[in-house]
Chains A and B, each alone.
Chain A
């Protein structure tokens, strides 16, 4: 029996929602534009097409660059800086989770503080971290790393804990040493959990990087954003940045999913099974 096609298909649902959102935006922009009290409608809510048109705007907004070039360059700077902090936080988080799983003392000491990190508004503390480190590049990495650290270590620890007792007993019966147990059993089990942590952390690291940019002029999306809000460049740079920031955040989320698909043993087996079915 042939499988019935589901109606509505998924792409249709998604595109209807996106069109609906765009219509809502345009409606809002229309209201703002025709409100006599508002002098600069492009500061409040410009039309979507105006923002997209500004991507292809060839007029220079700074001395040498068009709006799109400004955003593109800033995007690259933000991504690379966020990436470094993200990698540091990721490795530190993973190592702490490993230590916590190996030693009860470390777990007892570190776990309450891990909870505390989650509750403390780290992003609000960005200025003081800048004052402490004295260097904007270092403080950007520190904040991105702290924000990455918590979700990665909490999720990885949950992954280690999810290994069933029977599996551990089996490894014990094989007289497997601890490194072997970790390599063959614990790490593969915790991969999905680890990537759940990464998916949460990646957009946060980018947010941190953008926020720190707004504190001091040193390139990056946040810097370009505050410049455009201070009327140094056209306001469309601001809207382009909003779209770019959202796109980069979503992209980082999907990138983690793609990497997970490549490295996860579970996904590899799933792919193999699929191929086997066809053949």
Chain B
């Protein structure tokens, strides 16, 4: 028995068991409404999980429509922003002396709150299209793009310039050209940094897409118009439809978690050979 308790298998099981147990306890407290008496709220504001699940089941088409509206610009912004950020980092790493200053400026942009960025881009996109849906998507994608670009360029610049000691000297002694040094040394060195950046920017892109929706002018929208998950969370709460709001929250959380899990799987595949070395 003692041997079993110290074994690796037992440790693995316990590291899964403890959090699951904690989750189950919270779930039971929530479902039996003990959580409500602790937090001093009613089931109107905080519906039990089974109620939320049934609301999700009823409104599934509307939820999926809004999920689509939020997910598409998030992913576009994430992809375009990260690619642009990497390009900026590459240019900055070629001209290190001047590029470093540019990266400092970009990192200052990173400190600008999303709340201030979102209305700027909503105003900018007012003349992009006559269709309100396209306009909202463009504004969201731009906000997400800005934030992803910032975090990617900062991290990738570090990956491209902070090389292992003496590695540049070695490349010089091989008389390798700048291009070869870039392809064989800098590029591979930056790969883990790309994932560091993505780990930050994936949750931020979801958050900024949700927040950006708060500032969309929906007055022109028709009755069936889908403004996106974040806007729906806000609107349903203003109308005091709390169970509907919780269903949108659940979907938004699922979106964040799914994107992060996909990133983790991708990362473990990409960096597999690296960890073995």
CB contacts (< 8 Å) of A38 on chain B: these are 127
Q: Are A113 and B22 in contact (CB under 8 A)?
A: yes
Q: Is A131 an interface residue when CB atoms closer than 8 A count as contact? A: yes
8 A Cβ contacts from A213-261 to B = 214-215, 222, 225, 229, 238, 241-242, 245-246, 249-250, 252-253
By size class, the interface of chain A is: 35 or more
B116 at the interface (CB under 8 A from A): yes
- Looking at B46, B97, B108, B124, the one whose CB has the most chain A CB atoms below 10 A away is B108
Contact A211 B257, CB 8 Å, known A121-B207, A124-B233? no
Closest to B242 in A: A131
Binds A, one of B11-19, B59-67, B132-140, B184-192: B11-19
A121, B210: Cβ atoms under 8 Å?
yes
Does residue B49 face the partner (Cβ distance < 8 Å to A)? no
- In the complex, the answer to whether A210 meets B115 with C-beta atoms within 8 Å is yes
Known A119-B260, A127-B234; contact A44-B203, beta-carbon cutoff 8 A:
no
| B79 on interface, CB distance cutoff 8 Å | no
Decide: A128 and B246 in contact? CB cutoff 8 A. yes
Describe A's contact surface by its main secondary structure. helix
A125 to B253: give the CA distance in the assembly, Å. 9
Which one of A132, A206, A211, A215 lies within 8 Å of B41 (CB-CB)?
A132
- Interface residues in B100-120 by Cβ distance below 8 A to A read 100-102, 104-105, 108-109, 111-116, 119-120
Q: Is the CB of B252 within 8 A of A207?
A: no
- From B108, B116, B211, B242, A242 is in contact (CB under 8 Å) with B116
Is A16 in the interface zone, CB < 8 Å from B? Answer: yes
Q: A8 touching B98 by the CB < 8 A rule?
A: yes
Q: Kindly state whether residue B69 has any CB partner on chain A within 8 Å.
A: no
Count residues of chain B with CB under 8 A from any CB of chain A.
53
Give me the interface of B with A, judged by CB distance under 8 Å: 14-15, 18-19, 21-22, 39, 41, 45-46, 97-98, 100-102, 104-105, 108-109, 111-116, 119-120, 123-124, 126-127, 203, 206-207, 210-211, 214-215, 229-230, 233-234, 237-238, 242, 245-246, 249, 252-253, 256-257, 260
Chain A interface residues (CB < 8 Å from chain B): 8, 10, 13-14, 16-18, 21, 35, 37-38, 43-45, 105, 108-109, 111-113, 116, 118-125, 127-128, 130-132, 203, 206-207, 210-211, 214-215, 222, 225, 229, 238, 241-242, 245-246, 249-250, 252-253
15 additional contacts (CB under 8 A) given A44-B126, A121-B256, A207-B115:
A16-B98, A17-B101, A17-B104, A109-B22, A118-B203, A120-B257, A123-B207, A124-B210, A124-B252, A127-B238, A128-B242, A132-B39, A229-B119, A229-B215, A238-B119
